């Protein structure tokens, strides 16, 4: 509202420089207790609000010539006998226009128009072919899984699964009843991995995992008794790049997803786990080593024969698919009774033609694996929040997004997590209270409504890019499969099984992904492509593969 003593202010306004800014959407004036007018309400409408740090540089405002960024009080809102004049005002909901060019460039650099998506899909298919031709032929490793026969439904018995793929590991116990009963019962537990173990030694990590597995096994309660000489069998879902040499052995190539553990690269991870279980006195052995995407595909295929592709979108990301053996030139000496096998793409390493920003490059340079896993750093849950944090930090430092100072916590890497982005984007309140609360609690940020809207715009920009690029990657895999079997992919129902917390819990991400697939393929082809969420598919799939590759006859 107009200050009570408006006549005195009017005289001053007509005779001296007015040291206040323009509101963009507010049509009334107010003053704070200190006498300073508030900042404007909309960063894009006020051309001068970025001068709030340099009040002495404000333009002289006169009644005769309104300047850009100033406004005239409408006739309908003027008080009686109040002469027409112009002034600049500061409103409490304003954000500096210094943010505008940062936001504009960021959105431009993140853009994913249809031609770019098609290029990414084509490049993905090209890299897949090169990776299948020879080891090291492309960024995609295209690793043979040695899973030649998928579960049939005839499997019977009690099997365990261990799923290591991110900041948690899960243990599952599955009782299978064959064709008639299928999955009779499942139990699971989840254990968080202490951060120090992500940078420790191989023995420390696997001993911690084996200890958690032992505690879970104790809950079996003596319901199932093994014949003498037998061990419980486990399907080990290991979601890191390995060079598999058989269904139950694999050499670790390198750690990803934030892990940097010494003494494991070049070793057989199955042997590492078996040795740790022996140290715990567990009567268990690994009978199947699978990637999380391979486990997801196996678990989904158990219920639906049309599943041909599996994608994980969680802390990290990867994809696998069913490939014809004769389409793998680098494969020598391995014979599959089915003529097909599952190929683990390790698509997180893909990098061709991606729309990267300065924030992506800076984050990559500061990572533990600079220059690697670029696709993963662009689309996966571990990194989306960090990219947003870096954008907001620049906006705070150079555009005064959150006021005169830069919030100290905002300088902490990874303080803003992708689940926080999702929670903010679900906020439908008028004042965006959830957004404000998260910014304050997580990053120590005091924010007004305009700042919160900009934060949401940054979140949506990075999530849209991630979801659409993931969709383009899926199309690339389908295109590669269609080349080798014309009409057998786009000409019939083809299911892509999806798993991972990012896909499951971020509705906007899921929508952008599906929309991109439809946009690239077009209506006719996309109607046969079903993108389906598979809950806990990797763990159950691993236990099914342990059963189908069992050394024993299970009849208990």
Would you place residue 95 in the very low, low, confident or very high pLDDT band (cuts 50, 70, 90)? low
Q: From CA 551, how far away is CA 519, in angstroms rounded?
A: 47
Helix-helix angle 99-110:449-484, to 10 degrees: 10
Question: Is residue 247 helix, strand or coil?
Answer: coil
Angle 93-95-99 from CA coordinates, rounded to 5°? 160
For residues 295-312, average pLDDT: 92
- Per the CB < 8 A criterion, the answer to whether 328 and 132 are in contact is yes
Quote the pLDDT of residue 241: 83
pLDDT at 87 over 60: no
Question: For position 239, what pLDDT does the model report?
Answer: 78
pLDDT at 61 over 90: no
More confident residue, 258 or 277: 277
Mean pLDDT of 271-300: 93
Looking at the DSSP bridge assignments, the partners of residue 284 are 232
Range among 22-36, 48-62, 222-236, 397-411 rated most confident? 397-411
User: Quick one: pLDDT at residue 50?
Assistant: 32
What percentage of the chain carries pLDDT values higher than 70? 81
| pLDDT for residue 38 is more than 70 | no
What is the per-residue pLDDT for 336? 76
Q: 478-536, pLDDT tens digit by residue?
A: 999 998 776 668 889 999 999 999 999 999 999 999 999 999 999 999 999 999 999 77
Answer yes or no: is 3 within a domain.
Answer: yes
Distances (CA, A) of 473 to 61, 190, 319, 346, 468: 55, 30, 9, 12, 9
Catalytic: which of 207, 248, 292, 499? 292
User: Hey, how many other C-beta atoms are within 10 angstroms of the C-beta on 330?
Assistant: 13
Give a yes or no: residue 54 inside a domain: yes
Question: How far is 417 from 436, CA to CA, in rounded Å?
Answer: 15
| pLDDT tens digits, one per residue of 242-257 | 888 889 999 999 888 7
Q: What is the mean pLDDT of residues 38-47?
A: 32
| Kind of pairing between the strands at 284-290 and 232-238 | parallel
Q: What's the pLDDT band for 12 if we cut at 50, 70, 90?
A: very low
pLDDT at 29 over 70: no
Active site residue 42: no
Residue pLDDT, tens place only, 112-170: 999 999 999 999 999 999 999 999 999 999 999 989 878 888 888 889 999 887 788 99
> Considering only 145-159, 247-261, 285-299, 413-427, which range has the smallest mean pLDDT?
145-159
Find the range with the poorest average confidence among 29-43, 108-122, 148-162, 373-387. Answer: 29-43
31 or 200, which is more confident?
Answer: 200
**Is residue 78's pLDDT more than 90?**
no
Looking at the predicted structure, is the pLDDT value of residue 338 above 80? Answer: no
Task: Please report the pLDDT score of residue 90 as a whole number.
Answer: 33
Q: How many Å apart are CA 474 and CA 491, to the nearest integer? A: 17
Query: What integer pLDDT is reported at residue 15 of this predicted model?
Result: 37
* Given 141, 257, 394, 480, the catalytic residue: 257
CA–CA gap between residue 391 and residue 458 (Å, rounded): 8
Domain membership flag for residue 483: no
Residue range 282-300: mean pLDDT, rounded: 91
The arithmetic mean of pLDDT across residues 167-195, rounded, is 86
Can 292 be counted among the known catalytic residues?
yes
Comparing CA positions, the residue from 290, 304, 146, 282 lying closest to residue 226 is: 282
pLDDT at 70 exceeding the cut of 90: no
In the chain, how many domains are there? 1
Alpha carbon 402 to its chain centroid, in Å, reads: 26
Residue given tokens 């003494």 in the structure block:
263
Look at 76 and 497; give whichever has higher pLDDT.
Answer: 497
Q: How confident is the model at residue 17 (pLDDT cuts 50, 70, 90)?
A: very low
Per the domain annotation, does 11 fall within a domain?
yes
Higher per-residue pLDDT: 95 or 116: 116
Length of the chain counted residue by residue: 556
457 belongs to a structural domain:
no
| pLDDT computed for residue 93 by the predictor | 55
The pLDDT score that the predictor gives to residue 434 is 98
Residue 499: strand pairing partners: 312
Domain that holds residue 11: 1-94
* Tokens 């089915």 -> residue: 338
Q: What is the mean pLDDT of the chain?
A: 82
Domain for residue 426, yes or no?
A: no
The reported pTM is 0.76
The pLDDT of 53-76, averaged and rounded, is 32
DSSP state of 272: H
440, pLDDT greater than 80: yes
What does DSSP assign to residue 227? P
Q: Region 302-325: what's the mean pLDDT?
A: 93
Residues 153, 154, 155, 157: what is their CA dihedral angle, to the nearest 10 degrees? 120
CB atoms < 10 A from the CB of 119, how many?
15
Average pLDDT over residues 454-465: 99
Which pLDDT score, from 0 to 100, does residue 486 have? 65
Residue 445 CA: distances (Å) to CA of 90, 401, 456: 20, 10, 14
pLDDT of residue 504: 96
């Amino acid at each position: 509202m107009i200050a009570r003593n408006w006549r005195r202010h009017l005289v001053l306004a007509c005779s001296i420089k007015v040291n206040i800014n323009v509101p963009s959407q507010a049509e009334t004036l107010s003053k704070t207790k200190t006498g300073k007018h508030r900042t404007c309400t909309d960063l894009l409408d006020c051309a001068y609000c970025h001068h709030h740090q340099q009040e002495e540089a404000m333009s002289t405002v006169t009644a005769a010539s309104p300047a850009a960024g100033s406004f005239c009080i409408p006739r309908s809102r003027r008080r009686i006998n109040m002469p027409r004049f112009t002034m600049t005002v500061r409103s409490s909901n304003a954000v500096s226009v210094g943010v505008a060019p940062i936001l504009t460039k960021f959105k431009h650099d993140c853009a994913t128009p249809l031609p770019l998506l098609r290029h990414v899909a084509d490049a993905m298919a090209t890299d897949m072919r090169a990776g299948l031709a020879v080891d090291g032929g492309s960024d995609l490793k295209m690793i043979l899984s040695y899973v030649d026969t998928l579960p049939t439904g005839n499997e019977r018995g009690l099997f365990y699964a261990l799923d290591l793929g991110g900041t948690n590991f899960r243990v599952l116990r599955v009782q299978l009843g064959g064709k008639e009963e299928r999955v009779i019962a499942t139990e699971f537990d989840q254990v968080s991995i202490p951060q120090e173990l992500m940078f420790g030694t191989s023995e420390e990590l696997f001993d911690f995992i084996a200890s958690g597995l032992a505690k879970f096994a104790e809950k079996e309660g003596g319901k199932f008794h093994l014949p003498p000489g037998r061990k419980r069998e486990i399907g080990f879902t290991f979601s890191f790049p390995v060079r598999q040499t058989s269904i139950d052995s694999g050499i670790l190539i390198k750690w990803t997803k934030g892990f940097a553990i010494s003494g494991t690269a070049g070793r057989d991870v199955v042997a590492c786990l078996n040795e740790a279980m022996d140290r715990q006195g567990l009567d268990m052995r690994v009978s199947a080593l699978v990637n999380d995407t391979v486990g997801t595909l196996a678990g989904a295929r158990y219920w639906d024969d049309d599943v041909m592709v599996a994608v994980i979108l969680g802390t990290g990301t990867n994809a696998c698919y069913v490939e014809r053996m004769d389409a793998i030139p680098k494969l020598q000496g391995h014979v599959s009774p089915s003529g097909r096998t599952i190929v683990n793409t390790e698509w997180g390493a893909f990098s061709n033609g991606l729309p990267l920003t300065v924030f992506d490059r800076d984050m990559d340079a500061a990572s533990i694996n600079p220059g690697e896993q670029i696709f993963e750093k662009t689309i996966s849950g571990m990194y989306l929040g960090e990219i947003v944090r870096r954008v907001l930090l620049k906006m705070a430092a150079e555009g005064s997004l959150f006021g005169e100072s830069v919030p100290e916590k905002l300088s902490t890497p990874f303080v803003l997590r992708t689940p926080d982005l999702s929670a903010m984007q679900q906020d439908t309140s008028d004042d965006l209270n959830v957004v404000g609360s998260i910014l304050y609690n997580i990053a120590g940020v005091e924010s007004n409504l305009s700042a919160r809207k900009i934060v949401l715009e940054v979140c949506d920009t990075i999530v849209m890019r991630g979801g659409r690029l993931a969709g383009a990657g899926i199309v690339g895999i389908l295109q590669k499969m269609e080349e080798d079997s014309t009409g057998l992919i786009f000409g019939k129902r083809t299911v892509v099984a999806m798993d991972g917390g990012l896909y499951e819990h971020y509705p906007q991400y899921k929508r952008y992904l599906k929309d991109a697939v439809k946009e690239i393929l077009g209506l006719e082809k996309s109607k046969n492509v079903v993108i389906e969420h598979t809950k806990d598919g990797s763990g159950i799939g691993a236990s099914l593969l342990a059963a189908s590759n069992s050394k024993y006859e299970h009849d208990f």
